[in-house]
Chains A and B, each alone.
Chain A
Amino acid sequence: MSLLQVENASRHFGSLIAVNNVSLTVEPGELRAVIGPNGAGKTTFFNLISGFFPPTSGRIVFDGNDITALSAHQRVAMGMSRTFQITEIFPELTVRENLRIPVEVAAGLRLSMWRPKNKDGLVRARIDELMEMGNLTSKADRMVGELPHGDQRATEIMMSLALNPRLLLLDEPTAGMGDQETYDITRLIRRLHQDHKLTIVLIEHDMRVIFHLADRIMVLAEGSILSEGTPDDIAKDEKVQAAYLGTTA
């Protein structure tokens, strides 16, 4: 069974049609890229999947359950987590504190009103494990807001991972990064996909990153699907080239 099925999703903002009748099926273990020129509706499409706002029409099915009407936090509880184009973290908290919050939520402790002595060890161990994975251990007690962009991004990805998701949505994970940082984040995503068998959908602008990572690519333009296929198919697709170069096909 597919992990994620988006069926004919549309989203209108007044007279603007940001996403127009887009369908997407993602199989377990797949790494799917969504690309497209600026304003193609990629982030809006992500917001529909993650529940930031509901689609105007269409249906979203996650792991066999219709989640179209569920709120964002309910989708997280079902195993879907995301990062944002502009990094969303808790800048005035340390790396450890940033990670502690999702780890505790994942451990079912969000309503726990006292310090849970019996689970504290597990929580700490999980935080250490995540910091290790994101190469953040040496910065554990630094305020995240003071760290370089790449480390902030790694923190955000690790926070999403702390929730033990079955589907991870990454919105332009390498946006605004230098070559070394891009390389590090790409390697991190690749490890999550290959070693942890995580299903990932990512929006990306950097073609090197996409061709390095993606199993399949969906191309959006002006809110609609322009093309879909393997990286090689997409590279040869004339419609896609035209959309990026701005000429009409």
Chain B
Amino acid sequence: MSPMQKYGPNAVVWLLLLTMPFWMGAVGGYTELATRVVVLGLAAMSLNFLLGYTGVLSFGHAAYFGLGAYGAAMTIKYIYPSTPLAILIGVLTGTLAAVIIGALIVRLRGVYFAMVTIAFGQVFYFITFRWNDVTGGDDGLTGWSRSPLDLGFTQIDILHDDKAFYYLALLLFGVAVGIMALLLRSPFGRTLLAIRENERRALFLGIPVNTHIWMSFVISCCFAALAGTLFALLNNFTDPRALYWGQSGNFVIMAVLGGMRSFWGPLIGAAIFVVLQDYVSSHTQNWMSFVGVFFMMVVLFFPRGVLGIIKRRAVQ
């Protein structure tokens, strides 16, 4: 493989991401839309760590995304208005839930695993929906906003400067994605691939399959929670839909749409999803049917996703 083939795609992706706020306006978007692509892209890539690289389908990742969102929002509203603290607590909340729930469900496989992840997700949905006093219930949690980043020597106003918040989100995205990429290149990452490819063989190569799936689940949920914190901070708001199973479905759609066997696929899927949602929903309420048709076409004709098509072209 030439260096061009090896580093080219990464270079292109990072170049686009680093410059996105500057050309988003020219193509009819806006900075907040760019931030949404990065944040939901992170959520989809986190899900894909489990789905694409471990071969385990979770249909409840919105739970950890939403716990991150509420963890961050409630920290700022009730405890202390600090953005870094909000992110930290949000991530810890989602990860802790994943540690416990993961241990309970890791013995299940396939559709049973997916069903139980939905069920646990809905538990958190109804808690936030019903617990009006604390979570704001159906109306969502309002009356708070992200606070400026205080670096000691200077302050960055991420509240009023859209671009500043975009780059904060991109920085955290980069750290999370970098860690996932390193993990997938490690011996541990290869055991996950082994489980995806052939669970029985993996077990009889001495890999404690359930333990490794649990670890993959926790890692995946940890970064989904990080995406959730950023999503709440982006909107200065969160509501129970962040934890709804429909949101989990959206993450799965993004991953499959973009291509779950490619590292960047889910980011591409998220970009298509977010832009389509933004564009079509300004014309019609039924934007989801357009996404749905597009999704079905991809699944039917290009089962490896959008990035799968591009890759195949490149090979031919």
Q: Known interface pairs A72-B203, A81-B204, A82-B204. Does A89 touch B198 (Cβ–Cβ under 8 Å)?
A: yes
A204 an interface residue at 8 Å Cβ cutoff? no
Contact mask A146-188 → B, CB, 8 Å, 1/0?
0000000000000110010000000000000000000000000
**A110, B204: Cβ atoms under 8 Å?**
no
Q: B187–A109 contact, CB under 8 A?
A: yes
Write 5 A-B pairs (CB below 8 A) sorted by A numbering: A82-B204, A90-B193, A90-B194, A101-B193, A101-B194
CB closest chain-A residue, reference B200: A88
Besides A101-B191, A101-B194, A116-B187, 4 new A-B residue pairs in contact (Cβ under 8 A), listed by A number: A73-B208, A88-B200, A101-B193, A112-B186
Tell me the complex Cα distance, A109–B194, Å. 14
Are A110 and B191 also in contact (CB < 8 A) when A76-B206, A115-B185, A163-B206 are? Answer: yes
Known A73-B203, A76-B204, A81-B204: A90·B186 in contact at CB below 8 Å: no
Report whether A76 and B186 are in contact in the complex, using a CB–CB cutoff of 8 Å.
no
Q: Which of B186, B205, B209 contacts A105 (CB 8 A)?
A: B205
Measured CB to CB, the nearest residue on chain A to B201 is: A88
Contact B201 A90 (CB under 8 A): yes
The distance in angstroms between the C-alpha atoms of A81 and B207, with both chains bound, is 12
- Give the distance to chain A from B175, nearest Cβ to Cβ, in Å: 15
Within 8 A of A (CB), among B171-214: 182-183, 185-188, 190-191, 193-194, 197-198, 200-209, 212
Main secondary structure of the interface of B (DSSP, over half): helix
Complex contact B190–A104 (CB within 8 A): yes
Nearest CB of chain A from residue B226's CB, rounded to whole Å? 18
User: For the complex, what is the distance from the CA of A106 to the CA of B198, rounded to whole Å?
Assistant: 18
Provide the residues of chain B in CB contact with A71, threshold 8 Å: 208
Q: Report if A50-B204 is in contact (Cβ < 8 Å); known contacts: A73-B209, A113-B183.
A: yes
Q: How many A-B residue pairs have CB under 8 A?
A: 82
Interface residues of A in 116-143 (CB under 8 A from B): 116
The answer on a CB contact under 8 Å between A110 and B207 is: yes
Least Cβ–Cβ distance between A207 and chain B, in angstroms: 27
Most chain B CB within 10 A, of A84, A88, A109, is at A88
**Given A88-B198, A88-B201, A93-B197, are A102 and B187 neighbors across the interface (CB < 8 Å)?**
no
Assembly CA distance A33 to B212 (angstroms): 35
Question: Is A190's beta carbon under 8 Å from chain B?
Answer: no
Chain B residues with CB below 8 A from A92, complex form: 197
Q: Convert A86-108 into 0s and 1s, putting 1 for each residue whose CB lies closer than 8 angstroms to a CB of B.
A: 00111111000100111011100
Indicate which residue in A73, A93, A104 contacts B187 across the interface (CB closer than 8 Å): A104
**Using Cβ atoms and an 8 Å threshold, which residues of chain B touch A73?**
203-204, 206-209
Q: Give B residues with C-beta under 8 Å from A.
A: 182-183, 185-188, 190-191, 193-194, 197-198, 200-209, 212
Residues of chain A within 8 A of B197, CB atoms compared? 90-93
* Complex Cα–Cα for A37 and B107 (A): 35
Task: Verify if A114 is at the interface (C-beta below 8 Å from B).
Answer: yes
Which residue of B185, B187, B193, B198 is within 8 Å of A110 (Cβ)?
B187
Q: Determine the chain A residues whose CB is within 8 A of the CB of B194 once the complex forms.
A: 90, 101
- In the complex, the chain B residue whose C-beta lies closest to that of A76 is B206
Distance between B139 CB and nearest chain A CB, rounded to angstroms:
42
Most chain B beta-carbon contacts within 10 A, residue among A71, A82, A110: A110
Distance between A74 CB and nearest chain B CB, rounded to angstroms = 8
Closest A residue, CB atoms, query B194: A101
Q: A245 interface residue, CB < 8 Å from B?
A: no
Nearest-neighbor residue (CB-CB) of B212 within chain A: A110
A76 touches B205 (CB 8 A): yes
Closest Cβ of chain A to B308, distance in Å, is 14
Question: Given A73-B206, A101-B205, do A112 and B198 touch, yes or no (CB 8 Å)?
Answer: no
Chain A residue numbers with a CB within 8 Å of B206 are 73, 76-77, 81, 102, 105-106, 110, 163
Shortest CB-to-CB span from B187 to chain A, Å, is: 4
Contact across chains for A113 and B201 when beta carbons are under 8 A apart: no
Closest chain-B Cβ to A174's Cβ sits at a distance in Å of 19
